[in-house]
A and B are shown apart, each in its own frame.
Chain A
Amino acid sequence: MLPESGPPCDVVVVGSGAAGLRAAIAAAEAGARVCIVTKGPLLYSGASASANFSYCASFGYFGAGDTAEAYAADILASGHGLAEPALALRLAEEAGREADIVEGWGVRWRRDEDGRHQLATFGGHRFHRAIHVGLRTGKALMVALGRRTQALGIEVRDHSVALEVLVRDGVAAGLLLLDLRQAALVALPAGAVVLATGGNVAMYALHTNPDELTGDGLALAHAAGATLIDVEFVQSYPTVLLSPPAARGLHYPTGRLLGFGARLLNGKAEEFFGRYESVPIQQARRDALSRAIALEVAAGRGSPRGGAFVDASAVAPGMLRDVHFEGYFQDLELDVGRDLQEVGPTPHFTLGGVRIDRDGRTDLPGLFAVGEVAGGLHGANRLTGVALPEALVFGAAAGRATSAAASVDRKRDARAADSPWVAKIATALRPRRSGGTHVGEAAAALRRAMQAGAGVLKSARSLREALAALDAISPALSDLASRQTGLRFNWELARILELRHMLEAARFHAVAALRREESRGAHLRTDHPETRDPGWRRHQLVQRDRVMDATIG
C-alpha cells in the first residue's frame, strides 16, 4: 500500500486542542489555506476541554507592581531556574490580549458589575490572576475556538493519526497520516507544519489526561530532526482520586478546597505538609504538594492505595458545590463533604517537549510546535492556570509566523513512498498469529513500567528497570498485528502505530531523568534529593537520539 497524495495546503496543523485550533485560526486569518489533522472528532480531542477552571492573565488590576514582568517572574520562579525567560515574557505579555480575543468569539469570562474580571488565586502567583467562566473554562474555550474554526471554513481531517513530518532538503514539506475515516494513508504536502498534539502522560498507567495523549508530536519532531528540551520533567497533579474505581485518575481540586478550609491528612489522619515545607499549604505550588505526599507515602505513612486523604468536612457546602464538576461527583457517588477522599500525585502535564522560539518555531525550518508538546516555557514545574494561555498565546504566534514560512517559495515535494511507515503498516496488517501479544497488552506493559520506575519518585535503580522494560517491549512491536482488517476505523492498527510514538516519548523521559542526578521541581530523585545549583541549572536537549546539556536563555 503506497501513500496517496492529499490536496496541498499552506499549513498543516496536527492536533485540535486549544493550541492547534488557535494556530489554525491565526494562519487562516493571515490568508493561509489550512488543514487540521486530528485523531478524534474536532471538538472532543486533546486535553484542553478537560481544563477545569483557570486561565491566568495579568490585567494590572492591582496597581504598579501588577505587570507582565511580574507574571513572567512568577513563571521563572516556579520553573526552578529552567523556565525560558523569552517564552515566559511572551506568555505574560499576551495572555490578557488572547483572553479578550476569545471573549469576542464567545467565551464569557465572569466579570463583576464594574466590568472587572472575577479573579481567583493559586499558589505561586503573587497576584490574583485566574480569570474563569465558572467551571469548565477549557470546554468554553474549545466551543468558541471550534465555532471560529468552522466559521473560517478551515478543512478538518478527523479520525486521523499523524505518522511522520515529511522533510525535503532540510525543511518540513508535509505530513504523512493515516486517515481512519477515509481508510487511506495520505501524504499531505504543506508549506509549514504545526505540531499541537499535546503531551505524553498517557505513557503512565494512571494519569489525569485523555488516553490519546501518547507523545505523537514529540516523536514526530524528533524523527524529523528537531531538538527536544527538558523531557525529564513531567508535572504531577498532587491530588488525583485513587478511589472508587470509576473516579481513579480524576483530578480533585484540592488547591481550591485547601483555600476553603479543607485539610490534607496522611494514613494516620495527621496533617503532614509542614514536615516538608515552610510555606502555608494554601500557598503551596503543585510540585511541593506532590513531593510532600510522595515522601510521606515513602515513609510508610500513606493511605491504603499509596496516597493521602483530603478532609473537606469543614468546607462550606456552597464552596463544595463549586468544585463538583456539575454533578459528575454525585454521579460517581462521591460525597466530598462527608467522606475523606483518597488522593495521590499522578502524572498530569508534560513540562518539556519540542524546543521552540518565541513564535513556536522549532529548529527545523517550516516546523512549529505549540502548547503542551512544546517545552521550555515551564522549566521544572508549571504554575496553575498557565496551560490554557500557553495554548492560545503560542498557537496564535505560530499561526501568524507560519505564513512567512509557508510563503517561502519552496517545492512542496511530499512524496512518502520511501517512508518507513509504509512497511510498519503492512506488518501490522498481516494476518496475526494466534496467541501472540496484542497491542493492549504491550501498551499496558509500557504503562506499568513507566508508572513503577519513572513516575512521581524516581531513582537510578527504578529508572534502569523502566528502561530495561522498555527495551523488552521494543522488539515485540514488529510482532503486533491488528485483528481488524482494512484501514477503515481500524483502531487496533492506530494503537499499534501510536505505541511506537509513546515508546519514544517514554524512553526520552527515562533516559533524561536518569542522567539528571538531582531533584528539581517536578523531577524527584530519592537517590539525589538535593537540588544542585548551579551545576544542574541547565537544560538537557535530545537530538537524533543523543542527550546533551544546554544553558538557559
Chain B
Amino acid sequence: MSGFEEFDVTVRIWRQAASAEAGVWQEWQVRIPRGDHVLNLLAAVRRNGDPSLCFPAHFCKIGTCGACALLVDGRPALGCRALVKEPFVEVAPPRGRMILTDLLAEDAPH
C-alpha cells in the first residue's frame, strides 16, 4: 500500500455471537503496514481472514468520537489511536458493556 513497509502480525481476537453465548479466542495472520492502527488491522482480518468479524464500523476517523473503544493487549484503547508496532496483538471488546457480536458492544451510556 503506497510504498509503506509491511510486516506480518498475528492477531488474537475475541469472538462471541451474542452476549448470552460463550466466546472464544481466534487467531489470524495478516500483513499490514508497520505502525498502522488497530481498526485498519481489523479491516485487514475481515478482508483476508473472516468477513463475518464484527467490530465498530461507524466512527469519526479523527480520534474524537469514542465509538471504536476496545481492549488492545488488555488495556482500554481507541482502535483508531492504537498503533500496531509489535508482531502480536490481542483485541477484545470494551469492558463493562453488553456484547452485541464479537468486538461490537452496546453503546456506553451517554
Contact = CB atoms under 8 A, between A and B. Distances in A.
Interface of A: 39-45, 49-50, 52, 136, 139, 143, 146-147, 150, 159, 181, 208-212, 242-246, 248-251, 304-305, 325-328, 331-333, 438-441, 444, 482-484, 488-492
B36 A245 contact: yes
B99 to A, nearest CB: 11
Given A44-B58, A44-B59, A489-B100, A246 B110 contact: no
Interface stretch (B23-31, B46-54, B86-94): B46-54
Given A49-B64, A147-B110, A246 B58 contact: no
Contacts of B60: 44, 49-50, 139, 210
Given A331-B83, A483-B52, A50 B110 contact: no
A432 B60 CA distance: 33
Contacts of A136: 64
Contact of B58 (A150, A210, A488): A210
Interface in B51-73: 51-52, 54, 56-67
A250 B61 CA distance: 7
A113 to B, nearest CB: 28
28 contacts: A40-B57, A41-B67, A43-B65, A44-B56, A44-B58, A44-B65, A52-B62, A136-B64, A139-B65, A143-B110, A212-B57, A243-B4, A244-B4, A245-B37, A249-B61, A250-B61, A304-B3, A305-B2, A331-B83, A439-B51, A482-B51, A483-B51, A484-B51, A488-B18, A489-B101, A491-B52, A491-B57, A492-B52
Interface string B2-41: 1110000000000000100000000000001111110010
Contacts of B4: 243-245
B58 A45 contact: yes
Contacts of B37: 245-246, 332
A483 B49 CA distance: 12
- Closest 9 interchain pairs by CB? A40-B58, A328-B63, A245-B33, A44-B67, A246-B37, A50-B60, A489-B101, A245-B36, A331-B81
A440 B57 contact: no
Interface of B: 1-4, 18, 32-37, 40, 46-47, 50-52, 54, 56-67, 81-83, 100-101, 104, 107, 110
B4 to A, nearest CB: 5
A489 B4 CA distance: 33
A489 B110 CA distance: 23
Contact of A325 (B47, B56, B59, B62): B62
Contact of B51 (A139, A245, A250, A492): A492
A468 to B, nearest CB: 24
B50 to A, nearest CB: 8
A336 to B, nearest CB: 14
B100 to A, nearest CB: 6
Contacts of A249: 61
